[in-house]
């Protein structure tokens, strides 16, 4: 990452799942709930949008009927978003290091077939895999 974007990436990696906190739950869709919370705190717009769109969030928004609610948060197709996706898609829920395939499998086992998350991750797999590969292909990746 360019030096001027590293702090933003670190913040996004740390905060991307903040919307899982029960006290922040509004819609039950953690990328949107997290982005709304960060926005209410006056967080930088790019951070808010990265949280809103981490790891193919639009695929799950489609399953939940929340695309319209996600639209105000611009998605940037950038090395920064790829790096955030890479971080999420190569780290397990307890911080363990996974390769991409194992991480996807872990998610699919945790969520029942037919659930919003299972369906969304299944549909997002090619998009997520491409982002992981782009991140790996960059210098230092």
Give per-residue pLDDT as tens, 48-103.
999 999 999 999 999 999 999 999 999 999 999 999 999 999 999 899 999 999 99
Does residue 2 register a pLDDT over 90?
Answer: no
Q: Where are the domains of the chain?
A: 3-137
* pLDDT for the residue 126: 98
Classify 56 in phi/psi space as left (phi over 0), alpha (psi -120 to 50) or beta. Answer: left
List of residues 6+ apart from 57 with CB closer than 8 A: 29, 31, 32, 70
| Alpha carbon separation from 95 to 21, 43, 61 (Å, rounded) | 17, 25, 25
pTM, rounded to two decimals: 0.94
């Amino acid at each position: 990452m360019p030096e001027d974007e590293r702090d933003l990436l670190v913040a996004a990696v740390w905060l991307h799942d903040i919307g899982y906190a029960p006290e922040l739950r509004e819609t039950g869709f953690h990328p949107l709930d997290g982005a709304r919370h960060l926005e209410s705190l006056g967080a930088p717009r790019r951070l808010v949008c990265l949280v809103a769109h981490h790891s193919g969030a639009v695929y799950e928004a489609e399953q939940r009927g929340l695309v319209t609610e996600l639209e105000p948060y611009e998605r940037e197709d950038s090395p920064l978003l790829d790096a955030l996706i890479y971080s999420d898609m190569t780290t397990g829920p307890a911080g363990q290091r996974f390769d991409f395939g194992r991480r996807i499998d872990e998610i699919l086992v945790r969520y029942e077939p037919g659930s919003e998350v299972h369906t969304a991750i299944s549909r997002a797999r090619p998009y997520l895999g491409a982002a992981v590969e782009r991140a790996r292909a960059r210098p230092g990746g």
